[in-house]
Amino acid sequence: MKVIKGIAVSPGVEIGQAFVLGEVEQHVPRRVIDLHTRDQEITRLETAVQDAIGDLDAMQVRTREELGGEASKIFEFHIGLLKDPTLLEPIHRQILDNGDNAEFALAEQFRTLVEQFKAMGTAVFRQKANDIIDLERRVLGKLMGETASRMEELQGPAIVISHELTPSEAAALDPNKIVAFATDAGGLTSHTSIVARALGIPAVVGCKNISYQVNDGEQLVIDGDTGQVVINPDDAAILEFQRQRELMSSYRMTLREGADLEAMTLDGTRIQILGNIEFPREVDAVLDNGGDGVGLYRTEYLYLTSPSEPTEDDHYRAYSDAIKRLDGKPLTIRTVDLGADKYTQERAEEPERNPFLGCRSIRYCLQNLPMFKTQLRAILRASSEGPVKVMFPLVSTIPELRQTRMILNDVMEELEEEGIDFDRELSIGIMIEVPSAALMARVFSEEVSFFSIGTNDLIQYTLAVDRGNERVANLYTGASPAVLTLIKSVLRAGRRSGIDTPICGEIAGEAAFTMLLLGLGLRTLSMVPTQIPEIKKVIRSVDMDTCERLARKVGSFDSESQVRTCLRDELRKINSDSPGGRATS
């Protein structure tokens, strides 16, 4: 039995068999092949090589027809290398002698060859090294292309192990087959972690090298509450985890039973509880868990989960679907937050070195106006069907906001000229996600109808901590006095201008923060749907005087450890019936 510690990002305990998911570009996992099936692994390799040669032959013919014989010669080296027995024999030996899977053996041998060519020093041999890397990716693509079919053939509960999952890969997981996942990389508020919570499956990220330590088929336990992954647990450990799972399941069932009760404090203060969603179907989960509407619709998943850019009608259908499901309850749509992701970086002629500080979110939209206007047209069209608000992400300057509003006004004029109906009183807001916006909140409040505090990025940019980097995950915390000071400043500006200021970052769904947020003056919280019942329970257990006293006490602290300890102690006093008397968010 071996225990690996990572970052708990989605709660729950699950037991299942490992399904190791490799990535051609980044990481090739090693699996131990049984002695009796190593010949089959050789056959897999040979089939992949022949398929790759077939593709190259076809490309050579097409290139010869379109560009001439000279251009087609670039494929001769590739084809010749894949047909060379001196290249493939060492890979065969590694599979037969060591029991390595075909992907791992091929990657090892090709990388050795790449280093040999690079060591020769000349530009010619460096180009040959690049050719070999291209070949490696081509053959690995054939081998790893079987992943989808292997996943379809899964029978029992499986746990995905990977170096990293993209948000679209996480969203594509079938909860009926995949019960949990763990990754080498990732952080608490990475988009993949957010998707895991939306799906309601336990997840642990930031495990550093777990994909090297787990083989297909091994039994695993994923504890999404403590951040533990147990490889080949013994019988006693399995029994204990099963007991924990039953206790947590019972507790969450109790929470769900009270989900329809109002989120009202003991002294009668009504708090609006909204849900964060990525897909229209999640509206049902928001309502089932007692939510009052949607406070954050992350629309970039229309891009991240599709092979092509969504059309205006694609946008419109999604927004219209969400509005119909809400049946009169409010929907706040955030325009696309693209740029710091694989979707855009892979399509860029020159990927950015630091995309989180580059052309992302509203900056990306302002530099891609046709795409941006397409989305705005769809949002406006949908606004005629129900209560809709629109908010712009990562706005950092007043000129940026004014340019955005000018574009929105242009789109409104276009729709009016076309006779297309929309809500002419559409409520417009911005996400407060960067320190510059928080510090200038008073000025921004004169230009918008509402703020929405996005603590995920606000923490990241205030503390200079990459929220997806497991190496500095311990530095990323909403309990930072600096972050709390900025939140108070934004709330003060909102109150003075009389505009709504909800919070939609992940700390809104952490029970330990609920009393503090109420004490600071927040009256609208937006979170992952499954977090709603527990947050409502906390709200119904406290009064505003207690919350305000806690906020004043926390305001005197100068370290996040003091803040976190104080918040957990206060939560235990009112949440003692949770398993272990601990916070479960």
Q: What is the mean pLDDT of residues 495-520?
A: 95
Residues 367, 363: Cα–Cα separation, whole Å: 6
The residue with greater pLDDT, 382 or 121, is 382
The catalytic position among 78, 92, 207, 504 is: 504
Q: H or E segment at 213?
A: helix 210-213
C-alpha distances in angstroms, 409 versus 377, 415, 428, 530? 11, 10, 11, 37
Residues 189, 298: Cα–Cα separation, whole Å: 14
Residue 581: band (very low, low, confident or very high) from pLDDT cuts 50, 70, 90: very low
- 275, 285 in Cβ contact below 8 A? yes
The catalytic position among 78, 191, 365, 547 is: 191
> What's the pLDDT score for residue 269?
97
Whether the per-residue pLDDT at 25 is higher than 50: the answer is no
Whether the per-residue pLDDT at 571 is higher than 50: the answer is yes
Whole-number average pLDDT of the chain: 87
Q: What is the mean pLDDT of residues 332-356?
A: 75
Amino acid sitting at position 540: R
Q: Which two tokens stand for residue 266?
A: 């003991």
Q: Out of 96-100, 130-134, 263-267, which region has the weakest mean confidence (pLDDT)?
A: 130-134
Give the tens place of pLDDT for each residue, 413-467. 999 999 999 999 999 999 999 999 999 999 999 999 999 999 999 999 999 998 7
Task: Name the β-bridge partners of 272.
Answer: 524
Q: Out of 343-357, 371-385, 423-437, which region has the weakest mean confidence (pLDDT)?
A: 343-357
Residues 392, 163: Cα–Cα separation, whole Å: 32
Which of 440, 442, 481, 464 is closest to 567 using CA atoms? 481
C-alpha distances in angstroms, 486 versus 7, 320, 440, 540, 547? 26, 35, 10, 27, 19
Q: What percent of the chain has pLDDT over 90?
A: 54
Strands 524-527 and 272-277, bridge-based pairing: parallel
CA contacts within 13 A on the Cβ side of 151 = 20
Whether the per-residue pLDDT at 93 is higher than 70: the answer is yes
The residue with greater pLDDT, 133 or 295, is 295
Whether the per-residue pLDDT at 146 is higher than 80: the answer is no
Residue 153: band (very low, low, confident or very high) from pLDDT cuts 50, 70, 90: low
> What's the pLDDT score for residue 302?
86
Going through 400-516 in order, the beta strands assigned E by DSSP cover: 427-432, 450-453
DSSP state of 524: E
Amino acid sitting at position 335: T
Q: What is the mean pLDDT of residues 478-502?
A: 96
Q: What is the mean pLDDT of residues 566-578?
A: 85
Residue 168: band (very low, low, confident or very high) from pLDDT cuts 50, 70, 90: low
Sign of the C-alpha dihedral computed for residues 215, 221, 227 and 228 taken in this order? negative
- 229, 21 in Cβ contact below 8 A? no
- 506, 477 in Cβ contact below 8 A? no
> What's the pLDDT score for residue 585?
37
Q: Out of 404-418, 520-534, 565-579, which region has the weakest mean confidence (pLDDT)?
A: 565-579
- 186, 212 in Cβ contact below 8 A? no
Q: Out of 6-10, 209-213, 228-232, which region has the weakest mean confidence (pLDDT)?
A: 209-213
**Alpha-helix runs per DSSP H in 205-358:** 210-213, 235-257, 282-288, 301-304, 312-326, 342-345
> What's the pLDDT score for residue 445?
96
> What's the pLDDT score for residue 584?
38
> What's the pLDDT score for residue 152?
64
Q: Which of 11-20, 101-110, 328-337: highest mean pLDDT?
A: 328-337
Q: H or E segment at 14?
A: strand 13-21
The residue with greater pLDDT, 89 or 339, is 89
What is the pTM for the complete model shown? Answer: 0.73
- Number of Cβ atoms within 10 Å of the Cβ of 169: 19
Whether the per-residue pLDDT at 566 is higher than 70: the answer is yes
The residue with greater pLDDT, 406 or 167, is 406
To the query of whether residue 365 is one of the catalytic residues in this protein, the response is no
Q: H or E segment at 462?
A: helix 455-463
To the query of whether residue 191 is one of the catalytic residues in this protein, the response is yes
* Burial degree of 148 (CB within 10 A; 0-12, 13-18, 19+): exposed
Phi-psi region of 206 (alpha: psi -120 to 50; beta: other; left: phi over 0): left
Interacting residues of 359 by C-beta distance below 8 A, sequence separation 6+: 339, 352, 367
Scored b (16 or more CB within 10 A) or e, 188-210 reads bbbbbbbbbbbbebbbbbbbeeb
> What's the pLDDT score for residue 583?
39
Q: What is the mean pLDDT of residues 194-218?
A: 84
Q: What percent of the chain has pLDDT over 70?
A: 88
> What's the pLDDT score for residue 341?
65
Which of 201, 285, 270, 325 is closest to 536 using CA atoms? 270
Give the tens place of pLDDT for each residue, 329-340. 999 999 999 877
Please name each of the domains of the chain with its CATH number.
2-21+157-251 (3.50.30.10), 35-148 (1.10.274.10), 258-577 (3.20.20.60)
Residues 35, 98: Cα–Cα separation, whole Å: 9
> What's the pLDDT score for residue 55?
82
> What's the pLDDT score for residue 97?
92
C-alpha distances in angstroms, 518 versus 173, 263, 521, 552, 582? 36, 12, 5, 12, 20
Which of 180, 142, 125 is closest to 158 using CA atoms? 180
3-state secondary structure 86-127: HHHHHHHHHHHHHCECHHHHHHHHHHHHHHHHHHCCCHHHHH
> What's the pLDDT score for residue 148?
56
